[in-house]
Amino acid sequence: MIRPEQTRPGDATPGPAASPSQDQVTVWRRQEEALYGAALSHPNLYMAAMRLARAVADAMRPFETLEDLGEHFRNNDASYVVPIAQGLDIPQLAMLDFSQVLGAACHLRAREILEETARREALERLAEAGRSGQSWVTLREVEKERNGQTTFEKLEVHRSTGLGFFLASAIDMEKGWVFYLEPLAIDIETGHRLPDAQLPAESQELASKEALMTAAEDLRQRIAQLAAGEVP
């Protein structure tokens, strides 16, 4: 069963470098994992937990920064969830750990805050690229280190078409290093991804960074040709 709000490569946008607020997000993520892990073998309870976490997250929409959300979390406990659960009128909710529900809801809301922040930053980068006449814009570029191994993610977009691609490396339990290239399209006016857009290529999984970079350059050239009207 897919965990709620689970995403494919390129769907989620990480926030800024690690900070106390980011450390709190990690704590919330672990509470979310504990909540859904405990309910995984009971489909009805699992779905009820998802509904409740969503409802609690919706109640926290007034908090628009991680700092404000963190302060709200510290000033409340499981009792905050009780009236929201009562409003859903699902008896099985009484079987859940409401402290975990609060953490899961905060994680959901934190992801929304980070995604909105990243969207605004993307629009700023697109605007700056327009002022400087750049054709391609890097909207995201991050590296993550774990136990001496470094993975990376990069999102590039062609400014005039909104077409672009997501690059990423990851460590697979069976394959070792794997590399991903995922074409995508965004609305350059809003910064939102366009899931139904016609894309110039299929997603690829590659075995080396060199192969990834070659495939990315090929795709970059194809998008430029589309922009110039050179590809039917």
- Which has more pLDDT, 219 or 190? 219
Q: Write out pLDDT tens, residues 141-173.
A: 889 888 899 999 999 999 989 999 999 999 999
Are 113 and 139 members of one domain? no
Q: What are phi and psi of 27, to 5 degrees?
A: -60, -45
pLDDT at 231: 60
Are 90 and 165 members of one domain? no
Domains contained in the chain, number: 2
Are 173 and 215 members of one domain? yes
Are 94 and 146 members of one domain? no
Is there a domain that residue 122 lies in?
A: no
Domain that holds residue 34: 20-117
Q: Average per-residue pLDDT in the chain?
A: 88
Among residues 170, 195, 169, which one has the least CA distance to residue 183?
A: 195
pLDDT at 17: 39
H helices of the chain, where?
A: 20-39, 43-59, 66-74, 82-88, 98-132, 209-227
Among residues 60, 114, 108, which one has the least CA distance to residue 84?
A: 60
Are 217 and 145 members of one domain? yes
pTM attached to this predicted model: 0.70
Is there a domain that residue 206 lies in?
A: yes
Q: Write out pLDDT tens, residues 96-108.
A: 999 999 999 999 9
Residue 22 scores a pLDDT above 70: yes
Among residues 162, 179, 171, 178, which one has the least CA distance to residue 227?
A: 162
